[in-house]
């Protein structure tokens, strides 16, 4: 089975047919087990069944693809902290949300603080999830026969430290992937990394997102194809836009159903570009970055640069992660004004109506319990 891949490498995970991929993760298991040599931990005898993702249906999937709701999302036992000598950072914060909503801009701003590493779109979510599914689908018997089921959380939690081992001086890593808002990923994060993991979620109205993509396509000499390309971006449960909105919708419902949990902070693009100082203050307070030793960092909103650039040609759209040096709301006029087709406008109306109706907290969205054992 293969869960449909996300653009720019996020969740939904891969299992089954891609044998070569799992040979790579077998190497990861071996390296982590030998290198980190983590001591066994005691786990509870209580188990929790996987939660089902509400109203997420994959369109046009092959017979080798499934969605998250078809996979057990059972949580993992809390691992002890990795030995200090193996830690590349002290805290990992996740950055998620819709594309074209200021994620790259926020990363560039945060990277002004020497304590923070905030790079481009990361494969971390995919690698961690694939590792979990590799255990679940391929090698759980081998783990069990060696009495090492308890190693899985430590292996998963060690992967980010390996990936970010080359950062220099930063204590905090901000990992950027839209799919951190998916239910299974939240369970995985709370169970393997930190039950109080912080996830910053960038939001923007869907019409502004689609108009931003239209400008980006035009800059890449694809303007003549807008009428055919833009409607496809608005198909249900597709990447890169609608599935991201699905994830945000689920995260909001989960947060409303679990008011005592403080895992998500929703940040509007409008607030970031019009009130950057206030918005950054909210983010710092949410993440616990303001202490007596480390007061609020003074950011420069008139001289923003991308400290950790990415290779845009890999993603096929040049300018996709470009940030402007001055933080401000941009006003477009003349040829820069996007005129959407009637087909796109109709889809936008349907989407706005759908997400407006999704305001009632689901009755079946209990908080994941990160101290539960793995369901085998």
CA angle 76–77–81, rounded 5-degree value: 115
- Is 13 inside any structural domain? no
In a domain, 61, yes or no: yes
Omega into 240 within 30° of 0, i.e. cis? Answer: yes
Q: Cβ of 286: how many Cβ atoms within 10 Å? A: 17
- pLDDT for 15 equals 35
Condensed to tens digits (0 to 9), the pLDDT of residues 317-353 reads 888 999 999 999 999 988 788 889 999 999 999 888 8
A 10 A CB-CB count for 205 gives 15
Asked whether residue 294 is domain-assigned, the answer is yes
Structure confidence at residue 40 as a pLDDT band (50, 70, 90): very low
pLDDT at position 83, please?
64
**Torsional sign, CA 210, 214, 215, 219:** positive
Chain center to CA of 189: 10
pLDDT, tens digit, 9 for 90 and up, residues 229-262:
899 999 988 999 999 999 999 999 999 999 999 9
By CB atoms closer than 10 A (0-12, 13-18, 19+), residue 37 is exposed
DSSP 17-63: S-HHHHHHHHHHHHHHHHHH-PPP----S-B-PPPPPTT---SS--T
> Among residues 143, 107, 128, 144, which one has the least CA distance to residue 192?
128
Say if 367 falls within a structural domain. no
Which position has the higher pLDDT, 335 or 206? 206
Instruction: Tell me whether residue 362 is in a domain.
Output: no
pLDDT at residue 207, as a whole number = 94
Which residue has tokens 């839209």? 178
> How many contiguous H segments (helices) and E segments (strands) does the chain have?
12, 5
pTM above 0.85, yes or no: no
In a domain, 370, yes or no: no
pLDDT digits 0-9 by tens, 78-107 = 556 666 666 889 999 999 999 999 999 999
Q: What percent of the chain stands above pLDDT 90?
A: 52
Q: pLDDT-derived band of residue 3, with 50, 70 and 90 as boundaries?
A: very low
- Give the domain extent around 155: 19-357
The mean per-residue pLDDT over the stretch 123-146 comes to 91
Q: What length is written for the chain?
A: 376
Strands 172-176, 264-268: parallel, antiparallel or unpaired by DSSP? unpaired
pLDDT score of 334: 85
Residue 363 lies in a domain: no
Task: Evaluate whether 337 touches 228 at the Cβ level (below 8 Å).
Answer: no
Number of domains in the chain: 1
Q: Which residues, other chains included, contact 295 with Cβ-Cβ below 8 Å and sequence gap of 6+?
A: none
Cβ–Cβ < 8 Å for 169, 154? no
Spell out a b/e string for 210-231, using b for 16 or more CB atoms within 10 Å of the CB, else e: bbbbbbbbbeeeeeeebeeebb
CATH code at position 108? 3.40.50
Q: What average pLDDT score do residues 42-63 get?
A: 30
Lowest mean pLDDT among 186-190, 249-253, 314-318: 314-318
Please name every residue paired with 175 in a beta bridge, in sequence order, or none if there are none. Answer: 94
pLDDT of residue 321: 92
Q: What is the mean pLDDT of the chain?
A: 78
* CA nearest to 134, candidates 13, 221, 310, 225: 13
């Amino acid at each position: 089975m293969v869960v449909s891949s996300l653009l720019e490498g996020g969740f939904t995970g891969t299992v089954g047919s891609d044998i070569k991929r799992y040979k790579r993760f077998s190497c990861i298991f071996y390296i982590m087990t030998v290198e980190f040599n983590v001591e066994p931990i005691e786990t509870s005898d209580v188990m929790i069944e996987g939660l089902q993702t509400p109203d997420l249906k994959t369109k046009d999937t092959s017979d080798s693809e499934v969605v998250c709701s078809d996979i057990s999302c059972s949580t993992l036992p809390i691992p002890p902290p990795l030995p200090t000598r193996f830690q590349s950072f002290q805290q990992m914060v996740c950055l998620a949300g819709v594309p074209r909503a200021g994620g790259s801009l926020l990363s560039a701003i945060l990277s002004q603080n020497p304590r923070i590493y905030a790079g481009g779109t990361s494969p971390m979510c995919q690698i961690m999830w694939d590792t979990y599914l590799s255990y679940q689908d391929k090698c759980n018997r081998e783990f069990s026969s060696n009495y090492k089921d308890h190693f899985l959380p430590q292996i998963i939690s060690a992967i980010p430290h390996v990936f970010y081992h080359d950062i220099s001086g930063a204590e905090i890593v901000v990992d950027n992937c839209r799919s951190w808002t998916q239910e299974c990923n939240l369970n995985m994060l709370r169970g393997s990394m930190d039950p109080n993991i912080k996830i910053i979620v960038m939001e923007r109205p869907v019409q502004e997102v689609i108009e931003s993509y239209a400008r980006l396509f035009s800059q890449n000499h694809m303007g003549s194809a807008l009428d055919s390309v833009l409607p496809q971006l608005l198909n249900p449960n597709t990447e890169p836009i609608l599935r991201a909105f699905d994830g945000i919708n689920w995260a909001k419902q989960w947060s409303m159903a679990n008011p005592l949990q403080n895992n998500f902070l929703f940040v509007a693009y409008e607030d970031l570009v019009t009130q950057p100082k206030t918005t950054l203050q909210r983010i710092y307070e949410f993440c616990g970055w303001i202490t007596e030793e480390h007061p609020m960092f003074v950011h420069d909103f008139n001289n923003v640069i991308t400290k950790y650039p990415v290779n845009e040609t890999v993603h096929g759209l040049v300018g996709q992660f470009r940030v402007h040096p001055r933080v401000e709301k941009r006003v477009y006029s003349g040829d820069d004004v996007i005129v959407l087709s009637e087909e796109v406008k109709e889809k936008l109306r349907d989407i706005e109506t759908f997400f407006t109706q999704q305001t009632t907290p689901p009755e079946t969205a209990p908080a994941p319990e990160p101290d539960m054992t793995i369901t085998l």
